Structure 1
Amino acid sequence: MTKKNINEMSFLDHLEDLRWHLIRSTLAIVIVGTVAFIFSRALFRLIIFAPLEMSFPTYRLLCKTAQFFNIESTFCGEELPMIIQSRTMAGQFSADIWTSITAGFVIAFPYVIYQFWKFISPGLHDDERKHSRGFIIASSLLFFIGVLFGYYVVCPLSINFLANYNISEVVDNQIDIGSYIGLVRSTALASGFIFELPIVIYFLTKIGLVTPLFLRKYRKYALVIVLILSAIITPPDVASQIIVAIPVLILYEISIYISKIVIRNQERKIKKDVRTR
């Protein structure tokens, strides 16, 4: 599709184009989700319920760290003081369906990003379209790293804290399966989207909404926002919030550098255009 075609397209034509990209993305998620549903027993055993075992890698690492500093820790227990149960007729079926859909979205994410890029790329310059492969790879890589960070760091910290938190000995932690899976899903996906920050900053810089100067000027406000986000997706203890905040702050600094590169390339292009006139 050429730029001329883009300019000649009406608003409804753009909506129709967007609809087909959304349909393709949805079909990819459904197909991969169906495969995940077929192998859901292994998915639940190896991934979803793995953080319930004290042999989970994160627990072992934090337990060894606590033992090294001679600190008593709940990460060194034999089992988590909680029971997963289903209290509704369709509880387990719903958990299976939504977990499969989530797995489908995560695995099909590169294709979803590809469809997003196919929708916006006709409106970009030729040299910008050349970087499509790098955009898809970078976006997918950041998302997968974020999901892994949420699963291996945020999720076990939250589960361990909430499982061991009690207001009275008469209260047992009998957790509904929907609540547990919702925690695993939200922490993994939220972390995945948060790690897309450099990509978001790239596009905001391209359209002129942010600049490196703007990002540096409001760095302290960004720190506050990061801490708030960390408090939302982690248990309410300082250590967990710091663990989550550190990589996000690093991503923010990387975003400043990316914004600087974008501005520099735009200035070079302007100078080049001036010389060729």
Structure 2
Amino acid sequence: MGEAGEITHGYVVKAEELPALYYLDDAHPRPVSLEWINRGTDQALRRTTVEMLLRTLFGPVKTPSVKKLHRSAGLRATFRSERERARFAQTFQQAVDEMNRSREHVATAVFEKQETARKAVGKLTIEGVPEEAISMVWRASEYLAEKYEPIEGHGPGGIAGAVAGAGLAGAVLGVAILAIPGVGPVAVAGAMAAQAIPSVAAVSSVIGATGGAIAKMLTDADVDGVSATLYEREIARGRIFLSVNTEGLGIPLEKIEKILSAGGGKSSSDD
């Protein structure tokens, strides 16, 4: 869990608990500054070191120096007063507790190709999974013309239609197109579409230097924080995310996971 830093009114979030930021209450106090530090020496980390930390934080790591970095790094948030720091500490601990609660009703995977993702959706529906339980997220630019430009006077629906024409969005109902800084247009289809816009808008309430708009959206849909962080990277790389909320379906989670795996899906727990 986080810990008080040497700086007055400072609070340090351990690197391993970074995904808990996505679970913060919107009313939490906002820090006046943020800095990655070595928690042992209280020294600021170099930019290249921070980049390595974020790139390797939740993946398999064998290098002793990188493992040491993971254990020692922290994000120090400085607040205007001790009262704000204390309020944030309490709110953050609640966020950590929420992050650590088991998410046992959501099956997730990423696919390399749109065709395999579409076939997986077909198999799910054959097994009785309703469309309203399925969500998909992908980089819309991956399936639009390379030099696509929205027609003047046409809103996101026009873009959604272009994507649907490629066959992928037609696999499930309801599409939202979001502009994600650093990623570009991202399409969200199915159950997650309705909450996608408020989820991404709420990412400004997360204190983090993590980017995190996609991960925030996924955690709001009950994907666990660490998995959401990993899936955000995969989506940014052009892979297709698919999830199934099995709550109330009467279909075992393990059966859904087997369908996704057999169809070429890779979960966040796969090495």
User: TM-score normalised by the shorter chain: which range applies?
Assistant: under 0.3
Tell me the TM-score normalized by structure 2.
Answer: 0.23
Name which structure has the greater RCO, CA cutoff 8 Å, separation 6+: 2
More helix by share: 1
Tell me the TM-score normalized by structure 1.
Answer: 0.23
More strand by share: 2
